[in-house]
A and B are shown apart, each in its own frame.
Chain A
Amino acid sequence: MKSIYYLRFHPEITKEPIICNLIKEVAVEVNILRAGIDARKGGFMVIELGGEEASIKNSIGFLTKRRVGIDEISSRIHYDADQCVHCGACTAVCFSGALGMDNESQLVFAPEKCIACSLCLKACPLRLFSFSF
């Protein structure tokens, strides 16, 4: 099982090697997809967690205990499918594979692949994407 998460780091917790400890303590695969953290200002990290359901649950518990804000991205990105005209403009900027066109020229959205880069929010001329973090 694999899922992508958005992590928020408060400046106070940037001294601890949290991801390193996570890997040591929980048998979980961590793939860092994007990150931007400043020791003084804090920041964010987008990671993919892979492994047994239990280890993913334990990872979330581990991170929450260390005051890392954690959100599963797929449940935080919203796409107003009813309004979509299937123009394809959003697919021009999505490199995670979350947005693509199928053989019927319809937009297919796979939120579980989304890495929260936010590019589609501005690329969609109808503004059909939003995040609720």
Chain B
Amino acid sequence: MQKTIKEINQKIKKKQAVIVTAAEFKKLSLKHRPEQLCKKVDVVTTATFGPMCSSGAFLNFGHSSPPMRYERISLNGVNAYGGIAAADAYIGATEESSGNQEYGGAHVIEDLIAGKEIIMKAHAKGTDCYPRRETEARISLGSINEALMFNPRNAYQNYAAATNSTEKTLYTYMGTLLPAFGNVTYSTSGELSPLLNDPDLKYIGIGTRIFLGGASGYVVWNGTQHFTGREKNRHNIPLGPAATIAVTGSLKDMNTRYIRAACYEKYGTSLFVGIGVPVAVKDAATARALSVRNRDIETLVFDYGMAGRPSLGQFNYEQLMSGEIELNGRRIPTASLSSVKMALEICDELRNRILSGSFLLTDAVASLPGNNKIHQLK
């Protein structure tokens, strides 16, 4: 059996489509074969809600009078990149404010979405066409032209877990790693995660419409560090960081329930991004891939205390999510950094939007690259 996106969208419009969340689909897959699942279900909603450092937003402030090319820009004390044209800037999630390490670009983004006013300061050298050299203004999401989230690398397909063999506490983007293997942290929504439900990137491609922070957004390219050459396990799941997506959507349609600023001790700021992807159950092979369970998804545990971060072992997410794993004969507590509860909520929310007819599926206009290599700085 083969279904097209067009057919599925027609069923959605006629309110005849069967849409289930990834969690519900896993339960169905215990009782039904992929061929049956493909007949029964049209769309499966997948999601993730985790800290994604490679996130940010392009803003266009509007021109001042007399005109100015905003060159050095700060938003609530956080530097924004102003080296693009006169009134555009990019605010990155991990940029920290000069005065307060606990406030960064991620907070500016969350505050903008919350409708708060932001103090924008800008300096410029002044040119004949842009004579003004300084400005200070209060901006808000309603007062600026565009506010376009553009995240160069989100929704990692799998990620390594972290632990710490040293005698010192390590403060990392993988959370607080307690000394002497005090804990293991990991970051994924596992079997709910979009790219783990489409391991060969058959559905997710350039142009795929997604749920991004509460808005309808799009996959615009592969994410940076996209690495499909990663070794795979026997369930066709890469054993570590692999595919990624670059995504975009308007801040003006987002909701702070799904975009939250984060601050990791002695590391800095990051942004919790909620991403939902509806996967069309086009054929039995897609249904089979969507049946993947946490026990089938494996990752490596890296020692963040040692140079080169050697791997200490391979575990599946059923083990990691159980609250403890056994490493070198010791039981070590595990903790997540990514919210499964929020991922479940986004799966539900996206299903409701599709059911209501306000969110239709898209055919990708081009596939994401496969079989690529990844480079290290030499």
Considering the chains assembled together, what is the distance between the CA atoms of A95 and B180 in angstroms? 14
Query: Contact between A106 and B341 (Cβ–Cβ < 8 Å)?
Result: yes
- In chain A, positions 13-35 with a C-beta closer than 8 Å to chain B are none
Taking CB atoms, residues of chain B closer than 8 Å to A39 are: none
A92/B335 in contact, CB under 8 A? yes
Q: A123-B265, A126-B262 are in contact. Are A104 and B341 (CB under 8 A)?
A: yes
User: Does B223 sit at the interface, judged by CB under 8 A?
Assistant: no
Closest to A122 in B: B265
- Whether the pair A92, B341 counts as a contact (CB closer than 8 A) is no
A89 to B173, CA, bound (A): 11
- Is there an interface contact between A119 and B270, defined as CB atoms closer than 8 Å? no
- When each residue 318-350 of chain B gets 1 if its CB lies under 8 Å from chain A and 0 otherwise, what string results? 000001000000000111111111101000000
Given A93-B176, A123-B176, check contact A88 B337 (CB 8 Å): yes
Taking CB atoms, residues of chain B closer than 8 Å to A1 are: none
Q: Does B178 contact A (CB under 8 A)?
A: yes
Q: Is B155 an interface position by the 8 A CB rule?
A: no
Prevailing SS type, chain A contact patch: loop
**Contacting residue for B49 out of A85, A123, A125, CB 8 A:** A85
Query: Assuming A92-B185, A105-B344, is B262 touching A125 (CB within 8 A)?
Result: yes
Minimum Cβ distance to chain B for residue A104 (Å): 7
Chain A, residues 76-102, CB within 8 Å of chain B (1/0): the string is 000000000111110111010000110
- Minimum C-beta distance from B242 to chain A (A): 22
User: Could you tell me if B337 and A105 are in contact, using CB atoms closer than 8 angstroms?
Assistant: no
Chain B residues with CB under 8 Å of A105's CB are: 339-341, 344
Q: What's the Cα separation between A122 and B49 when bound, in Å?
A: 21
Q: Which residues of chain A in 117-132 are interfacial with respect to chain B, using CB atoms and an 8 Å cutoff?
A: 119, 122-123, 125-127
Task: Give the CA-CA distance A74 to B335 in the complex, in Å.
Answer: 23
Give CA–CA (A106, B344) in the complex, Å.
11
**How many residues from B make CB contacts under 8 Å with A?**
30
Q: Looking across the interface, which residue of chain A has its beta carbon closest to that of B162?
A: A92
A129 to chain B, nearest CB (A): 12
Task: Give which listed residue, A88, A126, A127, contacts B335 with CB less than 8 A.
Answer: A88
Whole-angstrom distance between the Cβ of A94 and the nearest chain B Cβ: 9
Q: Is the CB of A92 within 8 A of B333?
A: yes
Contact status B337-A89, CB under 8 Å: yes
Residue of A nearest to B334 (CB): A92
- B260 and A85 contacting across the interface, CB-CB below 8 Å: yes
B336 neighbours in A (Cβ, 8 Å): 87-89, 101
The answer to whether A93 touches B342 (Cβ under 8 A) is no
CB distance from A37 to the nearest CB of B (A): 23
Are A86 and B341 within 8 A (Cβ)?
yes
Given known contacts A104-B341, A125-B263, A89 and B49 CB-to-CB distance under 8 angstroms: no
A89 lies within 8 A of B340 (CB): no
CB distance from A105 to the nearest CB of B (A): 4
Question: Chain B residues with Cβ under 8 A from A125's Cβ?
Answer: 51, 175, 262-264, 270, 272
Q: Is the CB of A126 within 8 A of B176?
A: no
| B291 sits at the interface (CB 8 A) | no
List B contacts of A88 (CB < 8 A): 335-339
Q: In the complex the two chains form, is A123's CB within 8 Å of B175's CB? A: yes
Q: Are the C-beta atoms of A85 and B323 separated by less than 8 Å?
A: no
Residue of B nearest to A93 (CB): B176
Q: Is B102 an interface residue (CB 8 A)?
A: yes
B116 CB, nearest partner CB in chain A, Å = 16
Instruction: Tell whether B50 is near chain A: CB-to-CB under 8 Å.
Output: yes
B154 at the interface (CB under 8 A from A): no
**Shortest distance between the CB of A118 and any CB in chain B (Å):** 11
> How far in angstroms is the closest Cβ of chain A from B47?
13
Q: Closest A-chain residue to B342, C-beta based? A: A85
CA distance A85 to B175 in the complex (A): 15
- The CA-CA distance from A92 to B66 in the complex, in Å, is 53
Given A92-B183, A125-B51; A87-B265 close (CB under 8 Å): no
Tell me the minimal C-beta distance from A85 to chain B in angstroms: 5
Chain B positions near chain A (C-beta within 8 angstroms) = 49-51, 102, 171, 175-176, 178, 183, 185, 260-265, 270, 272, 323, 333-342, 344
| Contacts A/B (CB < 8 Å), 9 sampled | A87-B336, A87-B339, A88-B336, A89-B336, A92-B334, A100-B323, A101-B336, A105-B340, A126-B263
B-binding residues in A (CB < 8 A):
85-89, 91-93, 95, 100-101, 104-106, 119, 122-123, 125-127
Known: A92-B178, A93-B176, A106-B341. 15 other contacts (CB 8 A): A85-B49, A85-B272, A85-B339, A85-B341, A85-B342, A87-B338, A89-B337, A92-B176, A92-B183, A105-B339, A123-B175, A125-B175, A125-B263, A125-B270, A126-B261
